């Protein structure tokens, strides 16, 4: 295979899947399937290929299948919000043709031969995972538990495929296509059906570890980290928690002991995973479990429990072998993973370098990993790492303190934006007091529409876009896509805190779209959150009491190299 970006852009994966009797339909297999096929062919020549694998079976439904179902559903080119919703409902409600249903039954028969694992049904659109735009997380991935009678299994798989088809009509990818000037007619949807990587533990199915690898580090917490060093963001259980804005562990592959959240026990605990995702094979459902509830079970199931878990209490971290005399809670802090599972880190770094050299551009890889019986990294996806432009060093101006609204000094991005006319601010206390997270998120979306065409500042509590509204405002991409700067504010009294993670879909979108990022840790040295100014100056209230829209002249200066950024009154 030629080691160039041109070779990836022109690579046609349909031949790979046909050679493996793994494609249904005569259309295209889409971007996500292309990345997986490209990686599989490239890794055949990888020196450490014995430590790398792929899902036991992958089947692709080509774009022809989607096009036929859309036609069967009577879907025409939607023109407004109501017709988009009608199109989506038609895709979901229209039964598959008898011919396609028969094909899906044959697919299930093939998965029977490998122990009837649960199935991951993934989008693979034509535009997805290109070297220009990643569309990361814009379309759905669904899980089909693959349990029950043959009829129940087939019905569940059909529902999952239709949901992935219908996600092409969702607001987020539509906003993304529109922002980047892509005509809807250029898009179509293929689907990947994979065995979920992992093992069964009692009635629970999950991989031991899962996450995402990145060959480049574009947001660095320390000068010792170089952009070509690479990183891994991982969690225990299904990898869903690493791509969403949930707690997960970040390791820099050349400095794995360095933590971006800080090294104090309280900092480690606040950033550590306490929940994990799995598939309940008896209930046939995707479930989130609490480590506090599952700790004894997991300790019996996993010899590496002490490599993954510590107990936190009284501002101290205890090993799982200790018997602390103070109340504690278990956390997935992975204190010894980089020491005890060196093979994972060595293989990851070598694989990233190899695939980046082959493709000719930075890559990211979704993976799972089992420590027993063999240490093997299973590649679930490979895609070009979303485009990112490193800008020239930004000089932070010396201005009087009363002109600084926000200042931060950890994990800031790099860039400047001057003469910003509007700022949207979500007041943390009013967000908490008027508890309606989805209403607040939709109201932010209304302000985002109002300010279309203006690169405004968006500021508010905690981690934006999180699945858990207690951690921050649960916005979608289409509800913030017009902002130019995002400020995440730590509010200790209300348990809101930014999550300093490179690699989630949320951050990939911001990097690809050139949205600057400034986390502000209130009451921490070198940070400033000028709440008095925000409370005393004139604003318009949005469609939720917590939302304020300010008009003025603001500027943002963020020096990613020096880890310093400010937003000021110009």
Q: What letter would DSSP give residue 376?
A: E
CATH 3.50.30 segments of the chain: 401-569
Q: Radius of gyration over alpha carbons of the chain, in Å?
A: 24
- DSSP label at residue 355: H
DSSP designation for 491: B
For strands 285-290 and 309-313, give the pairing. unpaired
Is residue 377 scored above 90 in pLDDT? yes
State how far the Cα of 532 lies from the Cα of 512, in Å rounded to an integer: 34
Cis amide leading into 455 (omega within 30): no
Q: Does domain 5-45+55-196 have CATH number 1.10.10.10?
A: no
Helices 63-72, 98-112: crossing angle, 10 deg rounding = 140
- pLDDT tens across 421-465, in order? 999 999 999 999 999 999 999 999 999 999 998 999 999 999 898
Residue with tokens 């050139």: 514
Q: What phi and psi, each to the nearest 5 degrees, are found at residue 475?
A: -75, 160
Residue 498 near residue 471, CB atoms below 8 Å:
no
What's the mean pLDDT in 284-295? 96
Q: How far apart are the C-alpha atoms of 170 and 390, rounded to whole Å?
A: 31
Q: Is the pLDDT of residue 387 over 60?
A: no
Provide the pLDDT confidence category of residue 474 given band limits of 50, 70 and 90.
very high
Single out the residue of 553, 550, 490 nearest to residue 522, CA to CA: 490
Query: According to the 3-state scheme, what is the secondary structure of 175-203?
Result: HHHHHCCCCHHHCCEEEEEEECCCEEECC
**Is a pLDDT exceeding 60 seen at residue 2?**
no
Please name which of 315, 350, 310 lies closest in space to residue 332, comparing C-alpha atoms: 310
CA distance 34 to 8: 9
Measured over the CA atoms of residue 23, residue 145, residue 331 and residue 501, the dihedral's sign is positive
Separation CA 566–CA 397 (nearest Å) = 9
* Cβ-defined contacts of 148-154 (< 8 Å, 24+): 148/284, 150/105, 150/108, 153/108, 154/101, 154/104, 154/105, 154/108
393 or 142: which carries more pLDDT confidence? 142
Tell whether domain 401-569 is in CATH 3.50.30: yes
Q: Where in the chain is the domain with CATH 3.30.1490.20?
A: 5-45+55-196
Least confident of 80-84, 98-102, 113-117, 414-418: 113-117
């Amino acid at each position: 295979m030629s080691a160039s970006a041109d070779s990836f852009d022109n690579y046609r994966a349909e031949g790979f899947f046909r050679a493996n009797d793994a494609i249904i339909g005569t259309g295209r297999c889409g971007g996500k399937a292309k990345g997986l096929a490209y990686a599989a062919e490239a890794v055949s020549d990888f020196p450490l290929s014995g430590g790398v694998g792929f899902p036991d079976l992958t089947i692709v439904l080509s774009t022809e299948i989607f096009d036929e179902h859309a036609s069967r559903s009577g879907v025409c080119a939607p023109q407004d919000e109501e017709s988009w919703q009608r199109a989506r409902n038609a895709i979901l409600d229209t039964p598959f043709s008898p011919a396609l249903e028969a094909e899906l039954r044959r697919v299930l028969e093939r998965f029977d031969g490998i122990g009837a694992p649960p199935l991951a049904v993934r989008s693979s659109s034509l535009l997805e995972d290109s070297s220009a735009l990643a569309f990361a997380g814009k379309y759905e991935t669904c899980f089909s538990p693959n349990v029950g009678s043959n009829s129940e299994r087939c019905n569940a798989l059909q529902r999952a495929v239709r949901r992935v088809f219908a996600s092409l009509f969702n607001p987020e990818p539509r906003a993304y296509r529109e922002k980047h000037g892509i005509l809807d007619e250029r898009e179509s949807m293929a689907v990947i059906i994979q065995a979920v990587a992992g093992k069964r533990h009692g009635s629970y199915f999950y991989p031991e570890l899962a996450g995402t690898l990145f060959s480049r580090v574009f947001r660095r917490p320390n000068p010792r980290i170089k952009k070509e060093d690479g990183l891994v963001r991982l969690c225990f259980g299904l990898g869903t928690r690493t791509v969403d804005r949930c707690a997960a562990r970040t390791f820099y592959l050349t400095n794995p002991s360095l933590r971006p959240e800080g090294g104090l026990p309280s900092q480690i605990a606040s950033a550590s995973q306490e929940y994990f995702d799995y598939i309940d094979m008896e209930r046939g459902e995707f479930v989130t479990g609490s480590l506090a509830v599952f700790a004894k079970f997991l300790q019996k199931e996993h010899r590496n429990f002490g490599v993954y878990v510590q107990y936190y209490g009284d501002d101290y971290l205890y090993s799982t072998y200790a018997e602390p005399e103070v109340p504690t809670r278990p956390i997935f802090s992975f204190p010894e993973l980089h020491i005890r599972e060196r093979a994972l880190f060595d293989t990851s770094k070598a694989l990233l370098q190899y695939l980046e050299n082959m493709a000719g551009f930075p890559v990211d890889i979704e993976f799972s990993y089992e420590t027993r019986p063999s240490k093997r990294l299973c590649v679930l996806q490979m895609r070009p790492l979303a485009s990112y432009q490193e800008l020239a060093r930004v000089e932070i101006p010396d201005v009087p303190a009363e002109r600084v609204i926000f200042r931060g000094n950890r994990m800031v991005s790099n860039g400047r934006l001057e003469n910003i006319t509007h700022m949207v601010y979500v007041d943390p206390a009013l967000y908490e007091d008027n508890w309606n997270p989805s209403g607040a998120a939709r109201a932010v979306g209304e302000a985002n529409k109002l300010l279309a065409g203006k690169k405004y500042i968006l500021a508010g509590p905690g981690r934006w876009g999180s699945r858990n509204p207690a951690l921050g405002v649960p916005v979608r991409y289409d509800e913030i896509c017009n902002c130019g700067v995002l400020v995440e504010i730590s509010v200790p009294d209300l348990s809101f805190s930014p999550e300093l993670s490179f690699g989630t879909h949320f951050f990939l979108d911001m990097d690809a779209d050139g949205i600057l990022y400034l986390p502000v840790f209130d009451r921490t040295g070198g940070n400033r959150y000028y709440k008095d100014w925000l409370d005393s100056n004139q604003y318009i209230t949005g469609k939720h009491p917590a939302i304020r829209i300010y008009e003025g002249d603001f500027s943002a200066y963020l020096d990613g190299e020096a880890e310093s950024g400010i937003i000021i009154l110009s």
